[in-house]
Amino acid sequence: MRKWVDLYSKYLALLGLACIVVALGGWLVAGKAQLWVEILGSVGVLLVAATVLLQPAQARAVLTGRQVRYGGNAVVMSIAFVLILGLLNYLGARHHQRWDVTAEKSFSLSEQTLQILKNLKEPVKVKLFFTPQAYGRTEAEDLIKEYAIRSDKLSYEFIDPVTQRRLALDYQVSRDGTIVFERGSRREVTFGYQEQDLTSTLLKVTRDTVKGVYFLTGHQERDPDSQEQEAYGLIKQVLERENYKVGKFNYAITDTVPSDMAVLVVAGPRKPLSPEEISRLKQYVNGGGSLFILAEPGLADPFGGMLAAYGIELPDNIIIDPAKSFFGDIASPLVDSYEFHQITKDLGGLTTFFPTARSVVLSEPGPEGWKRQLLVTTSKDSWAETSYREREVRPDANEAKGPLGLMAVVEPSEVGAGKGRLIVIGDADFVSNEVLGSVVNVGNVDLFMNAVNWLATEEELITIRPKEPSQREVILTPLQARAIIYSNILFVPLLVLAAGIWVWWRRR
């Protein structure tokens, strides 16, 4: 009998411990002590207790031996490690913090989004109708969490349109991946889950009125409804995404300004404006309207001297800048620093470029009742080429030298003077479809939209916008590809094998 006890007691102890572990696991999973859990745990305790009673000397030796001491230290260290992890998770849940180490800050909210979230005055609810397996659900959830963390006025919930069909019908949702923003009784819907989509929809749902940005027509200006390379179809999409209504207006047809027109854009006219149109433009600005002029080289003065009343001149020239140009094109000045203004305050570090631009000059003395400022200028090595139709260009003694103005703002010198605002840029190509469709990660859109927001007195929207995600590719030569393949399947295993042989040899 004693021999049998000595032979099987340790197996009884192991069986008892196994029963206890299984019982604990069942209790954790079930969330409560069910009958089978209690029975199994009791059996485990009885088996361990029986082993201790039958073999007291061995139990004492096991509990006081060297292995138990080492094992106890390991258990204590493991418990401490688990407690530290638990504390870090608790602190992380209470104090949200992330570090974006990507080159383009791909996982950080843009300044525009942060500004809009900061300025939320009413609660906004976001309902995301996604099935569990819906494409883009993970990305949408990660992003909307960031929005909710940044503003306590934004809340969200995920709704399965299949299992919660009644709620989906109430919101007229028929497509998986629909996102609905609500502010009071106002609703806006988007099917995109990128930051641009969510921020645009948030902006729309928080605005009670839609301001209009109208483009002057009748002089072969850039067409916002066209997809031609020189047209403005892409910038129109950006304007609409930021909750502006985009339309066209012709002073030759009517002098009745649309009631919702907040900004009038004159984008690269190729024919001079008539004296009547020029007179109406002046009345519009002097009466409190906002005018945005983008003038291309090639036409001496399409505005018939109107800008002189605001202290602005547009000489017929092309800026040549060998020192700072876009990929070596000396007729495309590149700018990476700006004079301080509400329009440019957040553009630090962003690059803008202006293909075939003319200079913008502040005349002296300045006009009474207006203040002017050059916001964008070229480098000191640039010059204003007047003989730009020649095949070769060089700086002449009579040509203006840099830095040269590219963009000027004009506003009343006194607040509440009843006058409007004016911006003049010596280039219309910098936001054309050709430029915006082929060049990414430049600040041209930000500069244009900040100018529009300032003219429309939407200063809270003046900031940096979300960027389109860019693809980064690694192109390997055949030699590099073979080196990577063989180092992983051959060299690394051989290195591990050699290390093992060396350790074995040392221990002999």
For 328-388, what is the HEC assignment? Answer: CEEEEEEECCCCCCCCCCCCCCCCEECCCCCCCEECCCCCCCEEEEEEEECCCCCEEECCC
Q: Using the predicted structure, report yes or no on whether residue 5 has a pLDDT greater than 60.
A: no
The CATH number that domain 111-202 falls under is 3.40.30.10
pLDDT attached to residue 249: 95
Q: How confident is the model at residue 470 (pLDDT cuts 50, 70, 90)?
A: low
The dihedral built from the CA positions of residue 113, 116, 118 and 120, taken in this order, carries a sign that is negative
Tokens of 254: 């009517």
What pLDDT sits at residue 37?
Answer: 76
Q: How confident is the model at residue 390 (pLDDT cuts 50, 70, 90)?
A: confident
The whole-number pLDDT of residue 80 equals 66
Q: Which residues of 308-317 are buried (b: 16+ CB within 10 A; e: fewer)?
A: eebbbbbbeb
pLDDT for res 21: 76
pTM score of the predicted model: 0.70
- Name which of 84-88, 205-209, 254-258, 309-313 the model is least confident about: 84-88
Mean pLDDT of the region 137-151: 91
Q: What is the pLDDT of residue 229?
A: 95
- Is 425's pLDDT higher than 90? yes
Task: Please compute Rg for the chain using Cα positions.
Answer: 35
- Mean pLDDT (the chain) is 85
Q: Which residue has the higher pLDDT, 299 or 56?
A: 299
pLDDT at residue 138 above 60? yes
Which whole number is the average pLDDT over 495-508? 77
Distances in whole angstroms, Cα of residue 69 to Cα of each of 63, 98, 319? 8, 41, 82
- Look at 142-156, 305-319, 421-435, 459-473 and tell me which has the smallest mean pLDDT: 459-473
pLDDT in the model for residue 238: 92
Reported confidence tier of residue 28, pLDDT bands at 50, 70, 90? low
The CATH fold assigned to 211-461 is Rossmann fold (3.40.50)
HSE (CB half, 13 Å, CA atoms) of 434? 10
Please tell me the distance from the alpha carbon of residue 212 to that of residue 224, in angstroms, as a whole number.
Answer: 13
| pLDDT (average), residues 10-16 | 71
Residues 414-436: what's their mean pLDDT? 92
Per-residue pLDDT at 482 exceeds 80: no
Q: How far apart are CA 60 and CA 174, in angstroms?
A: 70
SS3 443: coil
202 torsion bin: left (phi>0), alpha (psi -120 to 50), beta (else): alpha
* pLDDT grade for 508, boundaries at 50, 70 and 90: low
- Smallest CA-to-CA distance from 346 within 338, 355, 356 is with 338
Res 157 pLDDT > 80: yes
The whole-number pLDDT of residue 220 equals 94
- What confidence tens digit (pLDDT) does each residue in 194-234 have? 888 899 899 889 988 899 999 999 999 999 999 999 999 99
Res 328: pLDDT: 84
Q: What is the pLDDT of residue 498?
A: 75
Q: Check residue 463 and give its pLDDT.
A: 74
* 132 token code pair: 């569990």
**Mean pLDDT over residues 318-326, rounded?**
92
- Residue-wise pLDDT for 326-359, tens only, equals 888 899 999 999 999 999 988 887 899 999 999 9
**Rounded CA gap, 387 and 407, in Å?**
22
Check residue 486 and give its pLDDT.
Answer: 67
3-state secondary structure of 304: coil
3-state percent breakdown (helix, strand, coil) of the chain, nearest 5: 40, 20, 40
Mean pLDDT of 19-30: 73
* pLDDT for res 495: 79
